[in-house]
Amino acid sequence: MRAPAALLQLYRLGILLAVAWLIRTHHARLRVEGDRPVRVEEVASWFTNAAGLRLDLTARGGFHVLDKAGGELGYVVRTLPHANRIIGYCGITDTLVALDSNGQVLGFKIRHSEDTRTHVGDVLAERHFRKTWNQMNWDQVAGMDLKQAGVEGVSGATMTSLAVAEGIVHRFRVAQGELRPQPVRWGTRDIGLAAVLALALWLSLANAEGRERWRRWFQWLVIGYVGFLNGDLLAQSLFTGWAKSGIAWRMAPGLVLFAAAAVLVPWASRRPLYCQQLCPHGALQEVVARHAPQHWRWSVPAALDRGLRWVPAALLAFVLIVVMLPLDFDLASLEPFDAYVIRSAGVATISVAVVGLVAALFVPKAYCKYGCPTGALLEFVRARGVNDKFGRRDWVAGLLLLAGWAMHWQHAALCQLTLGPAV
């Protein structure tokens, strides 16, 4: 089917935005309908004699913790929904803070988070960070300046931990009526990502003469800095998290700029910027392939090639199902990108990374071709010139949007069918 190239590109971008809007709307509804009320069991680690919770109807809006006789043991307050615009790496976090009977903070726990599980685990494992507010009273927390206080992000989970910290301070300020405008955080890592992006744009758009030699040096910068040092890679866990909770433009402006360029540059210019220049795993696959003996190269049979190229689309469909139902599945384990954050990488993501690199010894960039849903998403929106036409991938994208809408419309029935009546 032939269609004007400009209309076709608008259709593709429209599909992408419509799916993101649908995920956002769906999860906003889920948060309202199933607001995760605080239970007595959640405060037992602080108050062993807790028997009940009484809602505080004052401006603080927390809960008095009561024993069996109705005596007050302490107080707890949750950060949501007041902090629902504070986004970490890829989602919002609901934190519960406990105060003793004297009004001093005992500690906090994360009730629920839409951020990556490994990042949340790193935050909870960092003992020093967990004690940041201990022994402070309400006024001290509300008046806290995180930067002046030297509160730094947890290594391997910087954005998640800073979002937790800002969420706690923000929640205490709400009750004090002392909300302050929050600035955009341009940190060293954001400036570094912007610089790498500028170099990638030059390599992608400049004259091809002599560019390949510079590109090989640039690949090591991408692997070392973007991959292992910074760890801010584009992935389905990131995109779906932003779709659910909002884009982390204030907490991670460099990463947002990175993601925007990855989508918009190929959409407008036909150049696969991220996959070709900025993806650490793609760069590492190319390095591995260059050093593999030539006789190891294997030509994939045409029939197998056609079948394998549908795998990324199938994974995107699986991602949509996980996000819309939602299922208890960590999307970070579906791709190899979290493996570059070695400190917190899980077994599944490391396994995907290793298998992809081994495959690259025999088929150059095998994972990019046959296994990467994020690459397939970016490739879907890439322009292909005046001869482009409406094809199978466009039909599939439209069907995925319809499937997402059906899961939103019939969410309760589908949850009962797949997860049981207790959902």
Query: What span, in angstroms and rounded, lies between the C-alpha atoms of 11 and 187?
Result: 36
Query: What span, in angstroms and rounded, lies between the C-alpha atoms of 348 and 379?
Result: 25
Alpha helices in 81-210 (DSSP H): 117-125, 127-130, 138-142, 158-176, 188-205
Terminus-to-terminus CA distance in the chain, angstroms? Answer: 44
Q: CA 90 → CA 124, 206, 279, 332, distances in Å? A: 17, 33, 18, 11
Contacts of 238 (CB under 8 A, 6+ apart): 89, 90, 255, 259
Contacts of 407 (CB under 8 A, 6+ apart): 26, 320, 321, 324, 325, 414
Query: What span, in angstroms and rounded, lies between the C-alpha atoms of 79 and 94?
Result: 6
225 pLDDT tier (thresholds 50, 70, 90): very high
Q: Is the pLDDT of residue 423 over 50?
A: no
> What pLDDT digit, counting tens, does each position of 340-388 carry?
988 778 899 999 999 999 999 999 999 999 999 999 999 999 998 888 8
Q: Which region among 187-201, 205-219, 247-261 has the lowest average model confidence (pLDDT)?
A: 205-219
pLDDT of residue 214: 84
Phi, psi dihedrals of residue 95, rounded to the nearest 5°: -115, 140
